Amino acid sequence: MNQRYANPYLIGVLLGLVLLFSFYTMGRGVGSSATFSRIAAAGVELAVPGHAQEGHYFSKYLVDRRSPLMDWLVFLTLGAGLGGLFSAFISHRIQGEVVRGPSINISARLCLALAGGVLSGFAARLARGCTSGQALTGASELAFGSWIFMFAIFAGAYATAVFFRKEWL
Amino acid sequence: MGPLYKFGWFDFAYSLQLAGLTGFMFGFVLERAGFGNARKLTAIFYLRDFAVLKVMFTAIVVCILGLLYFSVFGWIDLSRVYILPTFIWPQIVGGLVLGIGFVMGGYCPTTSVVATVSGKLDGLVFIGGMILGSFIFGELFPLLEGLYEAGSMGPVRLSDVLHIHSGLVAFFVCLMAVGAYALVERIEQRFGDREALPGGSKRAKRTAAAALVFLGLILAIVNPDRIAAERATVSADETAKTTEALETTAPKPEKPASSRFKIVADEGC
């Protein structure tokens, strides 16, 4: 059923080349967290038009007359979905499931996934990017803050990993 | 010369198509590595499987070397590449919280997309959480503005902070990568499941490590910053000459010569 995953070093080289391609063509790296922020902004604009006006954080997505979803990173994320789908399809890895360790039930796992998502979405806005938009991209350009950010991610995760042991092992 | 978009090779609409292509390759390689599975991703935090570190570090090293070599060969103008500005406090706090979110939810933003398309419900729930988290940040922004802007240092690079040229930084990053690989492979041997880990011959790994250090060493000797600076002065002179020549020969050029290099402003992430 599940084929073995590819060698991580080989994947690392390929991912580095994808990043390089992005820098060569666009002069910027990849990213995806802003996509979800833009979706939130579009939702706010749809539900309460005019709420995200001057001074509101989301107003920066609404400066042009075009939709906040008409953006480079949104299309990149759509492409990432398609690419992931293609890869999962050719390896017969598409399967409806909830990924969890043997000693946690589905509803607890989904609650933790939601809470983790809220924290990640919040933190990515605070840090101006996520693991790809800030850590991968910034570290490749040798940006100082991005290196600090990357070490902070691992510090935060290793420091709290013990509390989520039951979720995964 | 790259970056192609900054030199006006194509317009916004085409850049969106290119984003789709870049994203496709991005999502494809992430799924190949198994990053659509939260247990594979979080195994790094229990010292079982260091695929996340290997992929990230290798990608960063390859991209650093690629950018600097491209700059040395004159294929890319690094001054036109958007450098992420440093805001030290929000980056530290945001990094810590993102790390907690990672081990709690099992994904980071891009990998949750890959998980969702391969049918993982927890990935979809994580995405919902991220949208909610962004909304909360947006609503609380007036309270957070002080932290958001704290410790602003501008677009500084490691080479500026350490006061050494970027080739030397790249060399140290290569050494650090090789050291990290050797360390995590030993830890994996101890705690990991040897059956599940992808193999690879020892000889191939040693050769690749040597090649990496060698490529870094060349950059440390060549000093890409100096070469880029020299090229910048030369091209500035040439532009000045062309403009001068145009002014003397042509009566009134409709557009200044520099207008073919249209710089398109953009925001970061």
Tens of each residue's pLDDT in chain B, 269 residues? 778 888 888 888 899 999 999 999 999 999 999 999 999 999 999 999 999 999 999 999 999 999 999 999 999 998 889 899 999 999 999 999 999 999 999 999 999 999 999 999 999 999 999 999 999 999 999 999 999 999 899 899 999 999 999 999 999 999 999 999 999 999 988 888 776 666 678 888 899 999 999 999 999 998 888 888 888 888 777 777 666 665 555 444 444 444 344 444 444 44
The predicted complex's ipTM stands at 0.95
Q: Do A119 and B97 touch (CB under 8 A)?
A: yes
d(CA A85, CA B36): 10
User: pLDDT class for A62, splitting at 50, 70, 90?
Assistant: confident
Mean pLDDT of A89-104: 91
Q: Do B16 and A75 touch (CB under 8 A)?
A: yes
Encoded amino acid at A43, one letter: G
How many angstroms away from the CA of A102 is the closest CA of chain B?
A: 11
Chain B's closest residue to A71, CA to CA, is: B16
Q: Where are the domains of chain B?
A: 1-32, 47-83+162-247, 84-156
Identify which of B31, B83, B169 has the shortest CB distance to residue A84: B31
By the 8 A CB rule, do A34 and B111 touch? no
Please enumerate in sequence order all residues whose Cβ is within 8 A of that of A122, keeping only pairs 6 or more positions apart, or say none.
Answer: B97, B133, B134, B136, B137
Identify which of A20, A99, A159 has the shortest CB distance to residue B120: A99
CA angle B7, A23, B24 (to 5 degrees): 115
Q: Do B59 and A136 touch (CB under 8 A)?
A: yes
How many angstroms away from the CA of B218 is the closest CA of chain A?
A: 18
d(CA B184, CA B57): 12
Identify which of B6, B19, B56 has the shortest CB distance to residue A76: B19
How many angstroms away from the CA of A14 is the closest CA of chain B?
A: 7
pTM: 0.90
**A107, pLDDT greater than 80:** yes
How many angstroms away from the CA of A49 is the closest CA of chain B?
A: 15
Identify which of B33, B96, B130 has the shortest CB distance to residue A5: B33
- Distances from the Cα of B51 to the Cαs of A107, B27, B45, B134, B138, in angstroms? 28, 16, 11, 28, 34
